């Protein structure tokens, strides 16, 4: 066991970590593309890349089983991520199956969204009474800033994708991480919104996301320090309720994990069905500290 | 005024905290967020009376957005309207820092702050104290249907229940968990309703929000949700009308009627200007399109507005 791993699990002797309760299965995430991505961003918290096969893709049949189970457990909404979801050849049928049961959000890097795919997504969205939200991530206002993080040529491809979605009549939520320092200030925000309007989004939607110091991001900036855990912290009811792990679970090809953030940690795998994961979870990991301190949740 | 039980009796304390049992009715009007729009509230009360309802209930958020917050509160209290707390009443009576609206976007929060600071400064202390005494939920019966009224959702005062983001599965779970047939709520500002199959495990409801002014009939025993919308601001549809809902237990099932309320919106906008409220708020009142608090909208609701 590497040193870091050992210190992370050091709560076994006298350090007490708070448990997060499971309040209700509102959100079910699907690691639908596994850890395979056509990009290899330097800030990716699960280090996805074209040849990271740690997590396998899910096929439509596997997703269907969990969709049904979530429905019986009162699920409110579905999220699809990877890796890059549109590398999954069954992504459109998977979304259609989800949208029969509830609202769905896809987190994509956009580079695989062609005019044709944008039209397919629009048709899916029109066919359902539920919302289909597309979240597209961008890392800067120009090729230099974005491509330094996401790889050469990606900026232009992401803008093209936004153009295709806008032309199809879809309005993606553009997410920028705090790695894009300009996006945090209001002047930078206004500039980015202006840029999105120029691309055809007349009602641009923008969200700024905090970074997680895990995976590739730990190498780019820094890893979590030893002191940054929730050891000894008492969670108030409201604090606990705001964490993703209090109201959601992550389904992968290898079973169900506590949350989308910890799928690289075996102790975060809670079971093979959703029902068996509806129990409290100890917040031992340093990423839990970020979630708690920054109020990171799927609504932000 | 309206024949209404003036002193509802509480449920046994053990069942659900801070609930009142409001009685048995056949035809009832529900007012959603009023957001200080006392002119629309006044018109809505007249309309409800002329439409011969047994009672009127207010589901919280009396203040925010509009001018002179005490005026709406005085109309409610003066008419003995049985009311529950919204996030605004909870925040004002607790001397909270903000409105607890549940927004996450910085621009949305900027406007929410302007609105809350104005309302907090202009609401008289005795009204704030009264808000602190209000129940969280009301229960009643409409014919043979059990009804639960809440502000956002029964589990969270500021949870948004949007038509396009509330799955049938989730709705069923809320109805089961809170032991009710009909769930009546507001908080989003957009009115919609959906009925589920009588028993759980059946196929989904049609999922589509009911149209404006539509009289929806459903065979009994109906289970479902009615978001009554808001009297405070228009429904982001380019009409200046605001809305409330009438729910009636009929022999052929439960009927829902969304009632548009035309009122002197130009006067409201002029008063908002005199009170120094943001021009963006006035634009909403004058055009029927939302200009703020947009980032919380799901894709479908966002797509149907102008901004
Ligand atoms: S951050 Fe997203 S786009 Fe970038 S490598 Fe990771 S999964 Fe792929
Ligand atoms: S990383 Fe965040 S969501 Fe995941 S278990 Fe820790 S606190 Fe919960
Ligand atoms: Fe509210």
Give how far A72 is from chain B: nearest CA, Å.
7
Which residues of B, range 260-279, sit inside 8 Å of A by Cβ? none
Q: How far is CA A239 from CA A77, A289, A294, B87, in A?
A: 21, 12, 11, 18
Distance CA A116, CA A122 (A): 10
pLDDT at residue number B201: 34
The answer to whether the bond into A40 is cis (omega within 30° of 0) is no
Query: Tell me, what's the pLDDT at B198?
Result: 54
* CA gap A118, A105 in Å, rounded: 15
Mean pLDDT, residues B268-297: 96
- Ligand 3 centroid to Cα of residue B99, in Å, is 8
| DSSP strand pairing (B215-218 vs B253-261) | antiparallel
- Test B106 with A186 for CB contact under 8 angstroms: yes
| Cβ pair A76:B300 closer than 8 A | no
Q: Whose CA is nearest to atom 1 of ligand 1?
A: A44
Contacts of B305 in chain A (CB under 8 A): 203
**pLDDT of B69 over the 70 cut:** yes
Reference B147, options B21, B273, B31, B240; nearest CA is B21
Structure tokens at B206: 């049609």
**Ligand 1 centroid – CA A41 distance (Å):** 5
Q: What percent of chain B is predicted at pLDDT more than 90?
A: 75
**Counting every residue, how long is chain B?**
307
Would you state the pLDDT for residue A178?
A: 65
Residue A157 corresponds to which tokens in the numbers above?
């491809």
Q: Regarding beta strands B145-149 and B137-142, do their DSSP bridges make them parallel or antiparallel, or are they unpaired? A: antiparallel
Residues B152 and B126 sit within 8 Å (Cβ to Cβ): no
Query: Could you tell me which residue, A110 or A293, shows the higher pLDDT?
Result: A110
Q: Which residues contact B166 (CB under 8 A, 6 or more apart)?
A: A76, B194, B225
Please give the residue of chain B at the shortest CA–CA distance from A183: B106
Residue B294 has what DSSP assignment? -
Nearest to A280 by CA among A252, A233, A240: A240
Other Cβ atoms less than 10 A from the Cβ of B6: the count is: 6
The per-residue pLDDT of chain B, averaged, comes to 88
Q: Per-residue pLDDT for B216 more than 50?
A: yes
B38 contacts B89 by C-beta, under 8 angstroms: no
Interface of B with A in 277-306 (CB under 8 A): 294-295, 298-303, 305
Distance B185 CA to ligand 3 centre (A): 10
Residues B266 and B260: beta-carbon distance below 8 Å: no
Of B23-32, B153-162, B167-176, B214-223, the range with the lowest mean pLDDT is: B214-223
**Nearest residue of chain B to residue A75 (CA atoms):** B170
Residue B118: is its pLDDT beyond 60?
Answer: yes
For residue B225, which of B118, B148, B283 has the smallest C-alpha distance?
B148
Nearest partner of B48 among B3, B89, B95, B105, judged by Cα: B3
Ligand with minimal distance to A21 CA: 2
Helices B106-122, B69-78: axis angle to 10 degrees equals 60
Ligand nearest to the Cα of A264, by number: 2
Q: Name the residue among A229, A216, A227, A211 with its Cα closest to residue A292.
A: A229
Rounded to the nearest angstrom, the minimum Cα separation between B78 and chain A is 36
Write the pLDDT tens digit of every residue in A160-185: 999 999 999 999 999 887 665 665 66
Q: Look up residue B130 and give its two tokens.
A: 């009264």
For the structural domain made of A23-293, what CATH number should be given?
3.20.20.70
Q: Say what the pLDDT of residue B116 is.
A: 95
Determine contact: B139 vs chain A, CB below 8 A. Answer: no
| Whether A130 and B164 lie within 8 Å, measured CB to CB | yes
> Best mutation site among A23, A27, A95, A103 for testing chain B: the one with the most B CBs within 10 Å?
A103
CA of A147 to the centre of ligand 1 (A): 12
Domains of chain B plus CATH, in order, are 21-303 (3.60.21.10)
Residues forming a β-bridge with B192 = B227
| Chain B residues touching residue A186 (CB < 8 angstroms) | 106
Instruction: Please give the angle made by the CA atoms of A4, A9 and A11, to the nearest 5 degrees.
Output: 130
Q: Which residues of A touch B206 (CB under 8 A)?
A: 129
- What is the per-residue pLDDT across B238-248, written as a single tens digit (0 to 9) for each? 999 999 999 99
**How far is the C-alpha of A221 from the C-alpha of A242, rounded, in Å?**
27
Q: How far apart are CA B115 and CA B126, in angstroms?
A: 20
Higher pLDDT pick, B176 / B108? B176
> In this predicted structure, what is the pLDDT of residue B197?
65
- Using alpha carbons only, give the angle B250, B252, B256 rounded to the nearest 5 degrees: 55
Largest CA distance in chain A: 58
How far is ligand 3, taken at its centre, from the CA of residue B224, in Å? 21
Q: Do the beta carbons of residue B232 and residue B37 sit within 8 Å?
A: yes
Query: Which has the closest alpha carbon to B244: B253, B252, B235?
Result: B235
Q: What is the domain partition of chain A in residue ranges?
A: 23-293
Residue A111 pLDDT grade (very low, low, confident, very high; cuts 50, 70, 90): very high
pLDDT digits (tens, 9 = 90+) for A4-50: 444 455 444 567 889 999 999 999 999 999 999 999 988 788 889 99
For position B210, what pLDDT does the model report? Answer: 53
Pairing of strands B182-185, B215-218: unpaired
| Cα(B278)–Cα(B255) distance, integer angstroms | 38
SS (H, E, C) chain A: CCHHHHHHCHHHCCCCCCEECCCCCCEEEEECCCCECCCCCCCCCCCCECCCCCCCCCCHHHHHHHHHHHHHCCCCEEEEECCCHHHCCCHHHHHHHHHCCCCEEEEECCCCCCHHHHHHHHHHHHHCCCCEEEEEEECCCCHHHHHHHHCCCHHHHHHHHHHHHHHHCCCCEEEEECCCHHHHCHHHHHHHHHHHHHCCCCCCEEEEECCCCCHHHHHHCCCCCCCCCCCCCCCCHHHHHHCHHHCEEEEECCEEECCCCCCCCHHHEEECCCHHHCCCEECCCHHHHHHHHHCCCCCC
Ligand 1 centroid vs A261 CA: distance in angstroms? 13
Q: Report d(CA A293, CA A210) in Å as an integer.
A: 11
Residues of A in contact with B162 (CB under 8 A): 131
CA distances from B290 to A166, A217, B232 (A): 21, 39, 12
Class of residue B226 by CB neighbours under 10 A (exposed 0-12, middle 13-18, buried 19+): buried
* pLDDT of residue A269 exceeding 80: yes
| Residue B290: predicted pLDDT | 96
> Would you put residue A151 in left (φ > 0), alpha (ψ -120 to 50) or beta?
left
The residue behind tokens 């039980």 is B5
**Minimum Cα–Cα distance from A172: chain B residue:** B299
Among B289, B290, B224, B292, which Cα is nearest to B255's? Answer: B224
Which has more confidence, A89 or B6? A89
Cα angle, residue B167 at apex, residues B161 and B168 outer, rounded to 5° = 115
Contact A235, A18 (CB under 8 A): yes
- In the structure encoding, which two tokens stand for residue B271, read together? 């008063």
CB contact under 8 A, B294 and A203: yes
Nearest ligand 2 atom to the CA of A285 is 6
Name the closest residue on chain A to residue B209, using Cα atoms. Answer: A129
Instruction: Please compute the mean of the pLDDT values over residues A52-61 and round it to a whole number.
Output: 95
Ligand 2 atom closest to Cα of residue A259: 4
pLDDT, residue A59, reads: 97
Instruction: Map residue B248 onto helix, strand or coil.
Output: strand
Contact B169 A72 (CB under 8 A): yes
Contact B169 A74 (CB under 8 A): yes
**How many cross-chain Cβ pairs, A to B, lie less than 8 Å apart?**
81
Angle formed by the axes of helices B125-133 and B69-78, nearest 10° = 50
A204-254 per-position pLDDT tens digit:
898 877 665 566 666 666 566 656 777 777 888 888 888 999 999 999 999
Largest CA distance in chain B: 54
Neighbours of B272 (CB within 10 A): 24
């Amino acid at each position: 066991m590497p040193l870091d791993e050992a210190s992370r699990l050091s709560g076994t002797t006298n350090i007490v970590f708070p448990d997060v309760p499971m309040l209700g299965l509102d959100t079910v995430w699907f690691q639908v593309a596994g850890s395979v991505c056509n990009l290899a961003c330097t800030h990716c918290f699960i280090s996805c890349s074209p040849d990271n096969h740690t997590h396998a893709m899910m096929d439509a049949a596997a997703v269907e089983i969990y969709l049904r189970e979530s429905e019986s457990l009162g699920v409110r909404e579905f999220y699809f991520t990877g890796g890059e979801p549109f590398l999954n050849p069954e992504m459109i049928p998977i979304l259609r199956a989800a949208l029969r049961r509830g609202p769905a959000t896809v987190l994509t890097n956009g580079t695989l969204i062609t005019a044709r795919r944008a039209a397919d997504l629009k048709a899916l969205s029109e066919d359902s009474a539920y919302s289909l939200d597309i979240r597209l991530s961008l890392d800067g206002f120009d090729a230099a800033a974005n491509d330094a993080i996401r790889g050469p040529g990606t900026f232009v491809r992401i803008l093209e994708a936004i153009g295709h979605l806008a032309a199809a009549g879809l309005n993606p939520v553009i997410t920028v991480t705090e790695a894009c320092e300009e996006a945090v200030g209001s002047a930078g925000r206004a500039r980015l919104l202006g840029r999105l309007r120029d691309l055809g989004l007349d009602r641009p939607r923008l969200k700024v996301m905090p970074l997680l110091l895990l995976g590739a991001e730990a190498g780019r900036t820094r890893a979590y320090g030893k002191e940054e855990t929730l050891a000894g912290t008492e969670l108030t009811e409201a604090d606990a309720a705001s964490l993703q792990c209090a109201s959601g679970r992550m389904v992968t090809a290898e079973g169900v994990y506590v949350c989308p953030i910890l799928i690289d940690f075996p102790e975060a795998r809670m079971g093979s069905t959703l029902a068996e994961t509806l129990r409290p979870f100890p917040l031992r990991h340093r990423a839990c500290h970020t979630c708690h301190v920054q109020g990171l949740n799927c609504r932000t | 005024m309206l024949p209404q039980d003036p002193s509802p009796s509480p449920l046994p304390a053990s069942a659900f905290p801070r609930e009142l049992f409001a009685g048995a009715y056949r035809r009832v009007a529900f007012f959603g967020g009023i957001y200080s729009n006392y002119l629309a509230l006044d018109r809505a009360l007249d309309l409800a009376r002329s439409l011969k309802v047994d009672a009127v209930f207010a589901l919280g958020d009396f203040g925010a957005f509009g001018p002179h917050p005490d005026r709406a509160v005085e109309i409610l209290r003066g008419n003995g309207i049985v009311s529950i707390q919204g996030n605004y009443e909870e925040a004002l009576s607790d001397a909270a820092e903000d409105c607890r609206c549940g927004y996450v976007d910085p621009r949305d929060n900027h406007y929410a702050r302007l609105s809350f600071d104005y309302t907090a400064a202009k609401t008289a202390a005795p009204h704030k104290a009264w808000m602190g005494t209000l129940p969280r939920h009301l229960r009643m019966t409409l014919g043979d249907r059990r009804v639960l009224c809440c502000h956002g959702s029964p589990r969270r005062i500021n949870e948004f229940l949007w038509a396009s983001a509330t799955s049938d599965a989730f709705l069923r779970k809320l109805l089961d968990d809170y032991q009710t047939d009909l769930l009546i709520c507001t908080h989003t500002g957009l009115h919609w309703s959906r009925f589920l199959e009588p028993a759980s495990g059946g196929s989904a409801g049609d999922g589509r929000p009911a149209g404006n002014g539509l009289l929806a009939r459903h065979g009994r025993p109906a289970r479902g949700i009615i978001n009554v919308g808001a009297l405070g601001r228009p429904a982001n549809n380019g009409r200046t009308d605001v809305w409330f809902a009438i729910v009636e237990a009929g022999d052929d099932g439960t009927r829902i009627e969304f009632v548009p309320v035309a009122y002197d919106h130009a006067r409201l906008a002029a008063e908002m200007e005199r009170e120094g409220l943001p021009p963006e708020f006035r634009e909403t009142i004058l055009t029927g399109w939302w200009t703020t608090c947009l980032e919380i909208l799901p894709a479908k609701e966002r797509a149907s507005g102008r901004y």
